[in-house]
Amino acid sequence: MSLSLPAPVAGRLDAFTGRWTMYRLTVFLLLAVTAWSFLLSFAGALAYTPAELAATAATAVVSALVASRVMGLLFRTRPQTDSSLITGLLLYFLLWPSTEGSSLLTVALAAGAATASKYVLVWRGRHIFNPAALGAAVLALTGLGAAVWWVAAPLMLVAVLPAAAIILYRNRLLPMAGVFLLAAGVIITVRMVLAGEPLPAALGTFFASYPVLFFAGFMLSEPLTLPPRNWQRLLEAAVVGVLFAVPLNAGPVFMSPELALLAGNLLAFALAPRSGSGCGCARTGR
């Protein structure tokens, strides 16, 4: 299923996005969103300084690249640079920007855990979990830190919205993203309206202050964790949307976007475990 666009427009868009592999296109789009975040920071429109953004981005990306090289040597496979860049850039938008050594160490640990999962938590060439989400969840579950998803800032939508739309269009995942947005949006909006917020303001808050568009475009769409059939993808999107929106907890563990996605990954794997042989190490992925 694809977005209904006039044939000439769709043709030009397909030609443009088809010039690169999916992973290279994702790198370019994430770099564009990263550049926009720095522009906002220099303009004083973000709560984080350029130094904090630069330190966090550099730590996340370099740690992912180094960890990928190490895991490649251990598993005797060639690491994919684009995959490492994507993992590092995704974590840049999830974790708290800082110049403090202890905070940057947690960023490096998250990048290392995310990268290791691409080689360890796989089944016949397929990721069981989204690597970036797993890296962020490891910090929370170990008490070392937590994802803050600071990308959910209203002005960040200027870059996030078109970038996410391009990714979803290229992957033909707009229906899946729509189901996720509907499931999460209905629950969160109803909760805000019941709390006394007007409906227009609630809708605005949902799209501008929750990381739903970034989540749908860059996290939920991770190709190596998706089930193959369309109905399975729609079911996963609905389940993740509900978990994303409902404030569940089990003791000290509270539901978060990354945990909602990991639960969806488990569902996707249970619905369609891949058959066939493989080395047990995925060579690409986010």
HSE-up (13 A, CA, CB side) for residue 39: 10
Q: Using alpha carbons, list the distances in angstroms from residue 188 to 101, 103, 141, 268.
A: 36, 31, 25, 24
**Residue 286: what pLDDT?**
63
Q: Which two tokens stand for residue 172?
A: 């033909």
**Residue 125: what pLDDT?**
74
- pTM comes to 0.92
Compute the average pLDDT of residues 1-14: 69
Rounded (5°) CA angle 35-38-44: 150
- Sorted by where each starts, the structural domains of the chain and their CATH numbers stand as 7-271 (1.10.3430)
pLDDT over 90 (residue 9)? no
Residue 249, strand partner residues: 254
Q: What is the 3-state secondary structure (H, E, C) of 221-244?
A: CCHHHCCCCHHHHHHHHHHHHHHH
The confidence band for 52, taking pLDDT boundaries of 50, 70 and 90, is: very high
Q: Which two tokens stand for residue 132?
A: 């970036």
| Rounded distance between C-alpha atoms, residue 266 and residue 101, angstroms | 34
| Rounded distance between C-alpha atoms, residue 246 and residue 27, angstroms | 31
pLDDT over 70 (residue 3)? no
The confidence band for 4, taking pLDDT boundaries of 50, 70 and 90, is: low
Helix axes 131-142, 257-271, angle to 10 degrees: 130
Residue 76's region, left for phi above 0, alpha for psi from -120 to 50, else beta, is left
Choice among 170-179, 185-194, 236-245, 274-283 with the minimum mean pLDDT: 274-283
Q: Torsions phi, psi of 127, nearest 5?
A: -65, 140
Cβ within 8 Å of residue 197, ≥6 positions away:
205
| Rounded distance between C-alpha atoms, residue 60 and residue 55, angstroms | 9
Q: Torsions phi, psi of 48, nearest 5?
A: -120, 145
